[in-house]
């Protein structure tokens, strides 16, 4: 197998994992586990959408990690990983969005991030997460709504830790 | 919200998420993420060869061909390939090219001789402009292997790879191979296999290899 096929997707996997998990180390561990699994399972990949396949592996690893509670659903904001201020956005904005993501249910967060960051179609997301397109759409709209409310300063009435 | 307002709000949300997380795309990728090709492929390949070898071995009596030959079981990479790989792994090292420095040459020779279970000699290549840097122990196919590294004034490096002779290894006189961009002179005697590897021109490497050969066979 040619690992070089996978390497170009590493930056995208890391970006998604960072948004999904929150802290740098936890996210990179998720990427690492995903890559190792992809290499072990590469013989199962049939030429097609390699990106969707890699994200589906990451999804499975993520779900397993959630089950094992390796990753708490409450995301620690890794202050050091917050990027320098970017024109057009205040530092507060970018820190807030990470904190806000932590308050969205993981299954909604996955759909929202695949669409917002990866520009995936509903069909791509459906394949990557193994859920029907209708479910993709409903999770997306709930995820967007929730993010909007949290960003608008909705008080944290729900507990921060989302129990699976 | 109207549909249009909805669309704008969604686009804003996407933009916010991207602004926050796009910088990750250009972060240097941690070295640990550059994985080695999976071992199972090597194992599978080796197993396939063994199966093929056994199959041929079983078929041979029925075919009545080559009946005097042992079943073909080809598994290990040949000596020059192993030597070239080891050369390519260790010669680019800046800080840790060797495990034991040439300053401790006596200790190095004693240690590697003990591990390979035979008295090793370290040829002197000063006449060709190469000084010993040191050496290291490596894993071989079925036992330890020694690698000695030399360097000339310009920083060019040579490695001498010394391995026990394996059961299947045929005796080989002086041979030349090119492997992964490096040149290898190698030979296998009763006891050991030797490979001298370098990224230098063939006549020079040949001359140095002859010198190594003479010093070792003496």
Please, are residues B60 and B66 in contact by the beta-carbon 8 Å criterion?
yes
**The tokens of A47 are what?**
């030429």
pLDDT score at A2: 65
pTM of the prediction?
0.48
Can you list the domains of chain A with their CATH numbers?
A: 3-151 (1.20.140.160)
How many Å lie between the alpha carbon of B88 and the closest alpha carbon of chain A? 19
**The tokens of B5 are what?**
């307002």
With CB atoms and an 8 Å threshold, state whether A35 touches B37: no
Residue B216 has pLDDT above 70, yes or no: yes
How many Å lie between the alpha carbon of B47 and the closest alpha carbon of chain A? 16
Laid out side by side, the sheet with B100-101 consists of B100-101, B131-139, B144-151, B157-164, B192-198, B182-188, B172-179
The 10s digit of each residue's pLDDT in B175-212 is 888 877 788 999 888 788 999 999 888 889 999 999 99
The 10s digit of each residue's pLDDT in B4-18 is 888 888 998 999 999
**Average pLDDT over chain B, rounded to whole?**
82
How many degrees, rounded to 5, is the angle at CA A68 between CA A62 and CA A74?
Answer: 70
**The tokens of A147 are what?**
């993010």
The 10s digit of each residue's pLDDT in B123-176 is 999 999 999 999 999 988 778 999 999 999 888 899 999 998 876 667 777 888
Please, are residues B136 and B114 in contact by the beta-carbon 8 Å criterion?
no
Please, are residues A44 and A53 in contact by the beta-carbon 8 Å criterion?
no
The whole-angstrom separation of Cα A48 and Cα A54 is 11
Q: What is the 3-state secondary structure (H, E, C) of B66-102?
A: CCCCCCCCCCCCCHHHHHHHHHHHHCCCCCCCCCEEH
Task: Tell me how far apart the terminal alpha carbons of chain A are, to the nearest angstrom.
Answer: 37
Q: Which of A39, A82, A28 is nearest to B29 (CA)?
A: A28
Q: What percent of chain B has pLDDT over 70?
A: 82
Q: Where in chain B are the domains?
A: 1-75, 76-217
Tell whether B33 lies on the interface with A, counting CB pairs under 8 A: yes
Most distant CA pair in chain B, distance? 92
How far, in whole angstroms, is CA A97 from its chain's centroid? 13
The 10s digit of each residue's pLDDT in A49-59 is 788 889 999 99
Superfamily of domain B76-217: MucB/RseB, C-terminal domain (3.30.200.100)
Write down the ipTM of this complex.
Answer: 0.79
Among A80-94, B80-94, B134-148, which is the least confidently predicted range? A80-94
With CB atoms and an 8 Å threshold, state whether A14 touches B40: no
Locate the chain A residue with the closest alpha carbon to B40: A40
| SS3 category, A152 | coil
Q: Which residues of A touch B (CB under 8 A)?
A: 1, 3, 7, 10-12, 14-16, 18-19, 28, 31-32, 35-36, 39-40, 42, 83, 86, 88-89, 93-94, 97-98, 112-113, 115-117, 144, 147-148
**Residue B151 backbone phi and psi in degrees, to 5:** -145, 140
């Amino acid at each position: 197998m040619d690992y070089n096929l996978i390497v170009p997707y590493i930056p995208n996997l890391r970006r998604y994992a960072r948004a999904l998990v929150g802290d740098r180390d936890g996210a990179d561990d998720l990427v690492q586990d995903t890559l190792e699994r992809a290499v072990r399972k590469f013989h199962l990949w049939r030429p097609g959408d390699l990106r969707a396949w890699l994200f589906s592996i990451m999804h499975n690893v993520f779900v397993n990690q959630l089950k094992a509670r390796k990753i708490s659903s409450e995301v620690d904001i890794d202050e050091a990983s917050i990027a320098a201020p970017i024109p057009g956005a205040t530092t507060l904005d970018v820190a807030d969005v990470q904190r806000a993501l932590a308050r969205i249910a993981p299954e909604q967060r996955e759909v929202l991030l695949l669409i917002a960051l990866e520009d995936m179609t509903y069909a791509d997301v459906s394949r990557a997460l193994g859920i029907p397109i209708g479910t993709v759409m409903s999770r997306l709209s709930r995820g967007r709504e929730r993010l909007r409310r949290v960003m608008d300063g909705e008080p944290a009435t729900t507990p921060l830790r989302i129990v699976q | 919200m109207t549909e249009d307002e909805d669309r704008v709000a969604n686009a804003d949300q996407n933009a916010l998420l991207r602004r926050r997380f796009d910088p990750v795309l250009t972060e240097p990728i941690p070295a640990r993420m550059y994985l080695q090709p999976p071992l199972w492929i090597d194992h599978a390949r080796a197993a396939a060869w063994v199966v093929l070898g056994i199959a041929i071995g079983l078929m041979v009596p029925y075919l009545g061909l080559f009946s005097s030959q042992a079943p073909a079981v080809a598994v290990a990479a040949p000596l020059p390939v192993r030597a070239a790989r080891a050369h390519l792994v260790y010669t680019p090292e800046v800080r840790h090219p060797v495990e034991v420095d040439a300053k401790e040459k006596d200790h190095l020779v004693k240690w590697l001789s003990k591990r390979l279970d035979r008295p090793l000699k370290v040829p002197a290549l000063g006449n060709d402009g190469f000084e010993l840097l040191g050496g290291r122990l490596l894993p071989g196919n079925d036992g330890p292997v020694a690698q000695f590294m030399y360097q000339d004034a310009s920083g060019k490096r040579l490695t001498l790879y010394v391995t026990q002779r394996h059961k299947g290894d045929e005796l080989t006189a002086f041979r030349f191979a090119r492997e992964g961009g490096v040149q290898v002179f190698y030979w296998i005697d009763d006891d050991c296999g030797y490979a001298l590897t370098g990224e230098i021109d063939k006549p020079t490497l040949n001359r140095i290899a002859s010198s190594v050969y003479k010093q070792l066979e003496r």
